[in-house]
């Protein structure tokens, strides 16, 4: 039987993380019987996590080029070489890598990679600034959200007071930074907005709220309103969600942006309305095109959100979707266990590992 997120958290707290992982997370006790997680997928996951473990910095961070999207390219503002000189890493990718380990049942101090999770926690906590902004080497709100999501999942399992303090600070920054449109952009307090930044903020808010962190209801309601205004109601792209909500013209839409829109609504507790149904239909129609982006960040962040959306939607969407992306990821994995992308291998490997492990249901934020 599958547990709801708060039930899972309560189970972990009662267990006190004192027994074997398989005894702590009951909803994964039949993991060997899950049709989605084939032997090939298990091997791929293990190789991906081993790659991440081997590439973690001594301070607990992971290196990755920091930059921004420019059309379909990625413009680097802080390279791995720069980070090595300054002694820091990438808070966003560190958050994603930590989530990838937890998604496989490797908790702080538990499991084969538990120590790597502990070191990642230490690093992320060290990068929380006085105003709550989690940043290093010039990283921005994307990274802040992924690092915050990681801390929320850790706090739900450990109830560590130091994690709670920094988590509440980071959530408060997200709340304060929401603009009048109900969205977020690359930097705190930016007046403009976009879907891809919004979805990761809402995921962080939902994960934190699930653990008892204060999140104003008005913040979530404003985000829902923003996303719904971004949906295309008719035409060839009906069901798609746009990059930005502009009153005078329609900005671009895509598989990744639409997946982000649906995931935002799901994380705001909207699960079955017409906007979501239309969005799921749009995703299914665009799925064949995603193969052309197999080594592009569009592919990884698109499927990161689409996997969540399809999993929550359930059958028949999930049954049709997941085998396709699972088998694609397995075939794209490199001999060293990593995945290529035009950002960096650490980013794409963390994303791929999370996608492959969502059916395991270890993470409350990724549950139905």
CA-to-CA separations, 286 to 243, 257, 289, 300, in angstroms, rounded? 16, 12, 6, 15
Q: 180 Cβ partners below 8 Å, 6+ apart?
A: 191
Question: Long-range contacts for 327-336 (Cβ within 8 Å, ≥24 apart)?
Answer: 328/291, 328/294, 329/44, 329/303, 329/355, 329/356, 330/40, 330/41, 330/44, 332/294, 332/295, 333/44, 333/47, 333/48, 336/51
Cα atoms found within 13 Å of the Cα of residue 268, Cβ hemisphere only? 29
The residues of the chain scoring below 50 in pLDDT are: 1-29
Q: Is 166 helix (H, G, I), strand (E, B) or coil?
A: helix
Q: Provide the pLDDT for residue 31.
A: 59
Instruction: Give this prediction's pTM.
Output: 0.90
CA dist., res. 1 & res. 237, Å (int): 37
Give 313: exposed, middle or buried? Use CB within 10 Å, 0-12, 13-18, 19+: buried
Give 235: exposed, middle or buried? Use CB within 10 Å, 0-12, 13-18, 19+: exposed
> What's the DSSP call for residue 241?
B
CA dist., res. 277 & res. 74, Å (int): 32
Q: Provide the pLDDT for residue 86.
A: 79
């Amino acid at each position: 039987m599958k547990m709801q997120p708060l039930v899972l958290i309560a189970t972990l707290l009662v267990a006190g993380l004192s027994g074997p992982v398989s005894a702590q997370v009951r909803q994964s006790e039949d993991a060997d019987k899950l049709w989605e997680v084939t032997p090939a997928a298990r091997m791929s996951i293990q190789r991906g996590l081993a790659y991440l473990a081997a590439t973690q910095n001594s301070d607990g961070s992971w290196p990755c080029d920091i930059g921004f999207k420019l059309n379909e390219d990625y413009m680097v503002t802080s390279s791995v070489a720069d980070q090595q000189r300054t002694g820091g890493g990438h808070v966003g990718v560190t958050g994603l890598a930590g989530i990838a380990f937890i998604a496989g049942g490797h908790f702080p101090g538990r499991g084969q990679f538990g120590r790597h999770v502990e070191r990642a926690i230490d690093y992320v906590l060290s990068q929380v600034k006085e105003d709550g902004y989690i940043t290093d080497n010039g990283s921005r709100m994307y990274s802040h959200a992924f690092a915050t999501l990681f801390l929320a999942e850790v706090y739900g399992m450990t109830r560590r007071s130091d994690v709670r303090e920094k988590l509440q600070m980071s959530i408060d920054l997200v709340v304060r930074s929401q603009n009048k449109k109900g969205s977020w952009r690359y930097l705190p307090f930016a007046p403009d907005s976009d879907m891809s930044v919004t979805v990761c903020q809402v995921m962080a808010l939902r994960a934190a709220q699930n653990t008892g962190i204060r999140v104003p209801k008005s913040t979530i309601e404003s985000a829902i309103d923003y996303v719904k205004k971004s949906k295309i109601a008719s035409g060839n792209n009906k069901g798609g969600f746009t990059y930005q909500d502009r009153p005078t013209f329609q900005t671009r839409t895509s598989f990744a942006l639409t997946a982000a829109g649906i995931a935002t609504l799901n994380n705001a507790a909207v699960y079955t309305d017409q906007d979501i149904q239309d969005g799921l239909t749009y995703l299914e129609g665009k799925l064949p095109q995603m193969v052309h982006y197999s080594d592009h960040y569009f592919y990884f962040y698109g499927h990161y959100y689409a996997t969540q959306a399809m999993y929550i939607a359930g059958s028949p969407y999930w049954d049709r979707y997941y085998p396709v992306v699972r088998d694609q990821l397995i075939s794209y994995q490199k001999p060293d266990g990593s995945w290529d992308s035009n950002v960096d291998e650490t980013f794409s490997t963390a994303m791929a590992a999370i996608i492959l492990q969502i059916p395991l249901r270890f993470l409350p934020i990724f549950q139905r």
